[in-house]
Structure 1
Amino acid sequence: MKHNRVFHTTRLRLAGLYAGTMGFILTLCAVGFYEAMAYSHVSELNHRIESVAGTLHDGLEASLQQPGKLEPIVQEFIPSLCIARTTCAYKSTATHYLGVFQEYGYYIRFVTLSGQLLASAGEIPTDLPVRVETEPWQTLEAPDRTRYKQLSLLLKTANQDAWGYMQVGRSLSDIDGHMVWVRLILLIGLPTAMLLVAIASWWLAGQAMLPVYRSYRQMQQFTADAAHELRTPLATIRANLESTLTPDATDADAWDTLRTVERQNGRLSRLVHDLLVLSRVDLQGLPAKQESCNLNDLVNDLVEEFSALAIASNISLTADIQTNTPITVFGSEEQLYRLVANLITNAIQYTPASGQVIVHLKRDDHHALIQVQDTGIGIPSKEQARIFDRFYRVNSDRSRHTGGAGLGLAIAQAIAKAHQGTIQVKSELGKGSTFTVQLPLRKDK
């Protein structure tokens, strides 16, 4: 396949289509996985911030009296609260809320309506910008490029006047660090997966095209063999006609030429007939009209018919029917007759003088078995796999003493398959061959 430019190009395109499709799907999956993981982490963090901020908001809002002023009770509520522009020292006395800040890295800030920082608590960098925005959620970035997720809630006094903002946030450094590793894994894993997909795509494209390529090669071989078989008789006819049409040709030469033309025309007719039989069996299978076929009578008739040919070749041809009960199958008697006839003809052609050909007929529980056994030249084991190919001859033997065009066994196999049967060969070089046809028995209604 690699030496054929058309198939090689098609394989490249098919592999590219496979790889491109799988690459697109893998990329979508990778991006989806990354976004889903990032969304999951951020959603979980937002939920925690909302929970902490909601609890603090509900606990503090009732104690606020004057806008922009922290009441002493707030410092009692959050002992670690550090007032802006004062020196703060860490206090070990901690409430539940302070414990949450210290354990999970949260911070809290109190900001006036104008954006002035009043106090803060928790793990918060001193240079984190203070923003007052209408949107409750903000993502802030410190000078060291550490990102923070922050929720701003409006606080009101007991008289429902706007007091200022409470901002609760947390660092995103652990989430960002985790996502960096995820990106690194995807950046390394995705190209590696794409490379493996490309290799697999090339192999799969080859496997997908292999039956097509084999069919293409068989078609090429069929064309070459058919051309060879047609060229020989046509060349013979032309040569004889040219010799006959010379001025010196006699009536005897003309008669010899006509007889040669008749023989070659017969060869061409048989070749065309065999090709038509193969085509008909391939396209149509069994004929619409089928019947019960008695294989006992069929074998006896064929042995009797080919006895003259066997005697002329000094070969013993006998039938061995191993049951007195009629063995019947359902199908086309004409095609089955042709199947067994081809096997007998093949056996006689490849069996030397004084040899023997035996046609066995027997049955098992579900099948009829026809075996054509000869003591001929045998078939090499490496050739047996191709013996049923059209126009195929062992060792490319195209000499005329064996007759035929190499289509007999191909026709026999096609007929056997059309009858839901099989045909097999066992052969040993120099000792002979046995062709076994297995056909399903007729089922009595």
Structure 2
Amino acid sequence: MILSKLFMGLDIGLTKTFRNKSNLIKLWRWQNILSNPLFRATSLRLLLSYLLAMIVVMGLSSMGVYHFFAYSLYKQLDHQLLTLADAAAHNLLAIQADRTAVHRKMPRILDYDGDLDIPWQDLWLYGQSVEWFDAKKQLLGKAGKQFPPIPLIISFHSWEDNDIRTLTIPVYTSAKNRQILGYVRVSAFTVEVEQELNRLLIGLKFGGILGMVLIGGTGWWLTSKALQPIEQSFQKLQQFTADASHELRSPLTAIKTTVELMQSHPERHPGDIKKIAIIEGATWQMTRLVEDLLLLARSDAAAVNLSKTAIPIPIDEILFDLIDTLQPQAQVKEITLEADLNDEIWVKGDAHQLQRLFGNLLENALQYTPEGGLIKVKMVKSDNFVVISMKDTGIGIAPEHLPFIFNRFWRADKARSHRQGGSGLGLAIVQAITHTHGGEISVTSKIGVGSCFRVKLPVFE
């Protein structure tokens, strides 16, 4: 009668709290994704990704605008030079006639300074010049702005050293007779074009800075608004997990106490000894699961509060105690436990949590290392950190599974799912405790060779 009530109470209590294990798994997968420190990091990453995308878009847009205006301004300048060259080509015959008049002592069309007076074009005002050459590329005359001597190059050409843009065209005797009569070169300064482009560039820079400030503020607001529903859901899930873990403690304690009482008087229930042992095992497993859930919920909710309760701890003492405690299990499987520890290294933290951290790693190593294997615990100090490595000759982990081994309730394969009493939270707890203490954890593994877990913690000095 008592036994049936126990089964009924256990079934009803667990059914009301968690309908099925899949819901619990989904819950803690969300917890693993949206733990508080990572939540803030996710928000920051979203914002930085948004800003980076906007910077790229604005940068490409600004480059496009700049090159478009540069192309338009130079195209306009080339059109002016081409119009001027076509007009000046009609004066080439007059220039050649002027040269002939010099020899014959006749009136010249050149003024006293050697420049040609052209009434329809104020070349000085626009910083332009026209030069006429004969068929042998000898200078016949010039008008307008004075430019440094430069080689005669047919078509458009830019002289960046002198900030000059030139156009040289050949002049023919007639459209039918393609005999070259001479050449006309027109030139203009590009300083004004470059000044316009520089002003445009300055405007784009200031506009870009102002745009990034506005985009940054808008991005922060949009990110916070987008993540607000997720954050609220996460807080509810976190509170639910903590409450559920706490509520499960009471019925489990009652069941455990009753089972212990029945075990202390086996003569009253001789036929139920095996069933009581099963209940005791299930109760212990559920108790461990509840404690693990509660530990993870607390580490998610208040990881930053460790500094208030942390004390300096000699890390080698914790490791030696664990090795001594687990030595009998290692001897049963004929596994060698080696330790290379330093007794002068201290860390600041919670001794119980650190014991849980390294205890989980050692238990895993013992569980998955075959008989006659080797487990080596080594401690090395590096700058302001201490690295504790636990290397085994176990079954190993496939490379594609390594990114997921710290996920809650995740199982790599059937070889790792047969473990009795395991909750699937051991390595998740290891990672949570490591991060709570400001450390890092990494793993390397090879199938059939073994695994090596490395925990890096800040040293207390």
Give the TM-score category using the shorter length: 0.3 to 0.5
Higher relative contact order (CA 8 A, sep 6+): 2
* Structure 1 or 2: more helix by fraction: 2
Q: Between Structure 1 and Structure 2, whose CA radius of gyration is higher? A: 1
- The two structures have a TM-score, normalised by structure 2, of 0.42
